[in-house]
Structure 1
Amino acid sequence: MDCKYFGECGACRLYENGYEGQLDEKISENKLLFSEYYDGDISIYKSLTSHYRARSEFKIWHKGNAIFYAMNHQDKKNVVLIDECPQVNTFIADLMPKLLHLIKEKKIDFKLFGADFLSSSKGEIVVSLLYHRKLDDEWFQKAKEIASELDIYIIGRARKQKLVIGQDFITEYLNINEKIYKFHYIENSFTQPNPRVNEQMIAWAMKSLSNIGGDLLELYCGAGNFTIPFATQFQKILATEISKSSINAAKENMALNGVTNIEFVRMSVEEFVQALDGVRSFRRMQHIDIQSYDIQTLFVDPPRSGMDALSLQFATRYQNILYISCNPKTLYRDIEILSKTHKIVDMALFDQFPYTHHVEMGVKLVKK
């Protein structure tokens, strides 16, 4: 990827040796990090080298009468004004200058400070425009004209306001092992930013859990990104998530894909452990016969902070653990604990965030 803002824009920090060079650096770093617990081969999954991001957030910078997209400078003190970003997919890249021009032309740039893009692989786009002012009917009408002209959806966000023009989600299609899965991605909710790498992650996870037997328990299930493809491999799946909006999206995505063997439950890990052990009953789980599950495998994809102490202790109950992590450092911390009862039998590195120090890791552990 060539970018005229390399060296200034803080979004990319590993660029001097090209795509393969930055990937080699991350592979070496993580092989060394986990060498104490795993000396086998690490499967490597590459990204596209440019136009790989399906969501991105930009500052809007006002300079005189003009407005610009902006990113944080590498010095973390200043900003870099940009007119393009080769990270974003071609649909977002094409839209960016057109949108900025119309925002200025329609005079809806007053106190606009951010623009967030969410795109499907087929070019359906939701743009969230972020304001430090209350949005009125005039704003809505002008934004509606822009949405119509550019064939996009626009969300206007201000304090205690969310104005939706069209809809607040896009429909993404993921190709996993030559089967198409359909997902609704909702604006302002977490989605995997790199769809092609996401497909590879899901395929690796499915391979890791093939012919494993028993039922599956998933913690931190989000909107069902992994859960729904897993449905073909298990008789029953129980999936938990603390976010109400994510659980609602997961149930909707389950219906979109005609899946019927997953129970999505909104509860914390602590609450689930209490329910599983019969310590406490929850109305949310009244329709679920939890004792009918033969859970032998636990799947987790926690936030960057990793698993908490209770989750780690709970995880050691299960024969198989599959752990997806977006933070190798917290993964290493958690492996230190899990390695007392489990052994790593497979590991993968997914280059979800090219030209940065970040990677996604996958680890399969089996009870000793």
Structure 2
Amino acid sequence: MSVPVVEPDRYDEQLEAKRSRIVELFARFAAPAPEVFPSPASHYRQRCEFRLWHDGDELHHAMFEVDPADPKRKTVVRLTQYPVASRRINELMPQLIEAVRDNPVLRHRLFQVEYLTTLAGETLITLIYHRQLDEHWDEQARALEQRLGAAIIGRARKQRRVLTRDHVTEHLEVDGQVLHYQQVENSFTQPNAEIARAMLHWTRAVTRAEGGGRRPRDLVELYCGNGHFTIALAENFRRVVATEISRTSVASAQVNLAANAVDNAVVGRMSSEEFGAALDGEKQGQRVSELALETHDFATVLVDPPRAGLDEASCERIARFDEIVYISCNPETLAGNLEQLTRTHAIERLALFDQFPWTDHCECGVLLRRRAGGD
């Protein structure tokens, strides 16, 4: 990956370039003008990972700059600060180096560090090693927890040592309501908390019933992760069924449903393909029966797939629903999926979320509704 060059004075310029690209990319679908949600120009990433570079007695955070002309060539970039990362991560970077550099138990064969922080500054640090860890490491790592004011996890091959906890809890205020999210180490979470908040606001707004209150029909969410959208959208629908394949994320989503007192949503561990088969009555079993699909009346589907987007069969599956909310971290694959989805649905709303400033990447949101006569 490239190390982003952060120039706050030029933030609007890079955002406008993304907006123009999105307008051009989706023009063929007669999409409305995108609603644009800017990011903070710096210190916006709540999670980051770095290599730890050993140079004699010295120790540095590092990233690799890839030569675009020859991707096999990588240059080590040593970092003392990283303006992309949250202020809490930047505060901890020199403190961690100072604490570990002259401590042989913590430093020996340490090669990577991962930071996970929240807007309030709660922090989890994962130290990753090319050796097995023991009780001597535990003792030194507990002292490090006290010194840094952060939870510490140690990882090595087939080993994970959790000293205090394996998660942080993010609190996001959305439309005057504070939502609580457990975020577990080594599982997917939205990296840009301010943009995460904007995405929740937008998806709530586009699915809100006229006049407020809950819609009389139900929502199905695929790729729900830790319940990021599930929690925020539950109040807009009669009931919600959310699915996710990761055991860790499903467990975290269930914790988050309870933490937010959401009583009209259920999370099932299954793939989108398995859910489609269950909806068609082709798959049965305990996990399917727990969802009680026969009692639901689904009108809306929300998908937030990986960068590769959806395959043809998945697009066909979600096109059965009257309303589609599609969140995408790759506009190119979204455009490819829209070639299929716009045969039956029209784009009603389009949003650009600047999830990744100073890169070519951005996040998009699309609301599609079935055309009159669309099959």
TM-score bucket of the superposed structures, by smaller chain: over 0.9
Please give the residue correspondences for 1:165-314 in structure 2 after superposition, counting only pairs within 5 Å. 165-211=163-209, 213-314=216-317
- Residue 130 (1) aligns with residue 150 (2): no
2:59 to 67, 74, 99: 67
The equivalent of 1:83 in structure 2 is: 80
Q: State the match for 1:23 in structure 2.
A: 15
* Counterpart for residue 100 of structure 1: 97
Greater shift after overlay, 332-341 or 37-46? 37-46
Segment drifting more, 78-87 vs 274-283: 274-283
Q: Check the 8 A contact 1:346/1:365 in 2, yes or no.
A: yes
Q: Is the 8 A contact 1:14 1:22 kept in 2?
A: no
Preserved contact between residue 243 and residue 270 of structure 2 (Cα < 8 Å): yes
In structure 1, list runs of 5 or more residues that go unmatched. Answer: 1-8
Q: Please state whether the residue corresponding to 1:305 is helix, strand or coil.
A: coil
User: 2:90, 2:347 → 1: CA distance?
Assistant: 41
User: CA offsets, 1:167-196, max 9 Å, x none?
Assistant: 110011011101001111000010000101
Shift of 1:285: 2.2
Matched, 1:55 2:55: no
- Kindly indicate whether the alpha-carbon contact (under 8 Å) linking 1:11 and 1:356 is maintained by their aligned counterparts in 2: no
Residues 288 and 29 of structure 1, relative CA distance in 2, 3 Å threshold: closer
Distance across 1 between alignment mates of 2:31 and 2:271: 34
CA contact (8 A) 1:215 1:294 kept: yes
Shift of residue 217, structure 1, vs aligned partner: 0.6
* Deviation (angstroms), 1:16: 9.8
Q: Residue 266 and residue 19 in structure 1: after superposition, are their counterparts in 2 closer, same or farther (change >3 A)?
A: same
Note the residue ranges of structure 2 that are not aligned, 5 or more in a row: 210-214
Q: What displacement does 1:74 show?
A: 4.2
Q: In 2, Cα distance between the equivalents of 1:328 and 1:32?
A: 11
Cα distance per residue 1:201-231 (max 9 Å; x no partner): 1100000101165110111111100001111
Distance verdict in 2 for CA 1:237–1:324, change over 3 Å: same
Calculate the TM-score normalised by the size of structure 2: 0.93
- 1: CA distance between counterparts of 2:165 and 2:8? 41
- Deviation of 1:310 after TM superposition, in Å, equals 2.0
Question: Does structure 2 conserve the Cα–Cα contact (< 8 Å) formed by 1:210 and 1:233?
Answer: yes
1:109 aligns with 2:112: no
Secondary structure of 1:166's counterpart equals coil
Find the aligned partners of 1:35 and 1:16 in 2 and give their Cα distance: 29
- The C-alpha deviation readout for 1:113-161, integer Å capped at 9, x for no partner, is 1110000111110000111111122111111111111111011000011
The CA distance in 1 between the partners of 2:21 and 2:182, in whole Å, is: 35
- Equivalent residue number for residue 3 of structure 1: none
Separation in structure 1 between the aligned mates of residue 269 and residue 296 of structure 2, nearest angstrom:
18
**Counterpart contact for 1:13–1:357, Cα < 8 Å:** no
Structure 1 counterpart of 2:321: 318
Measured in 2, the distance between the counterparts of 1:78 and 1:213 equals 57
Q: Give how far 1:39 is off.
A: 4.1
Secondary structure of the residue that 1:157 maps to in structure 2? Answer: strand
Q: How many angstroms does 1:262 deviate by? A: 0.5
Alignment correspondent of 1:4: none
AA matched with 1:92 = I
Residue 144 of structure 1 corresponds to 142
Once residues 155 and 16 of structure 1 are traced to their aligned partners in structure 2, the CA distance between those partners, rounded to angstroms, is 34
Tell me, in whole angstroms, the C-alpha distance in 2 between the residues paired with 1:305 and 1:26.
20
Give aligned pairs, total. Answer: 360
**Cα deviation code 1:6-59 (max 9, x no counterpart):** xxx813168597211111111111111111013421100000111111000111
**Deviation per CA, 1:243-282, whole angstroms, max 9, x where unpaired?**
1111111001000111111010111122112211112212
SS at match of 2:21: helix
Is this contact kept in 1: 2:8–2:41, CA < 8 A? no
Counterpart of 1:329? 332
The structure-2 alpha-carbon separation of the partners of 1:336 and 1:221, relative to structure 1 and needing over 3 Å to count, comes to same
8 Å Cα contact 1:240/1:268 also seen in 2: yes
Matching residue of 1:6: none
Q: Which residue of structure 2 aligns with residue 43 of structure 1?
A: 35
> For 1:346, what is the secondary structure of its paired residue?
strand
Q: Distance in 1 between matches of 2:340 and 2:5?
A: 32
Deviations along 1:342-362, one digit per CA (max 9) or x if unpaired, are: 111110000011101110000
Which residue number corresponds to residue 212 of structure 2?
Answer: none
Which is worse superposed, 88-97 or 69-78? 69-78
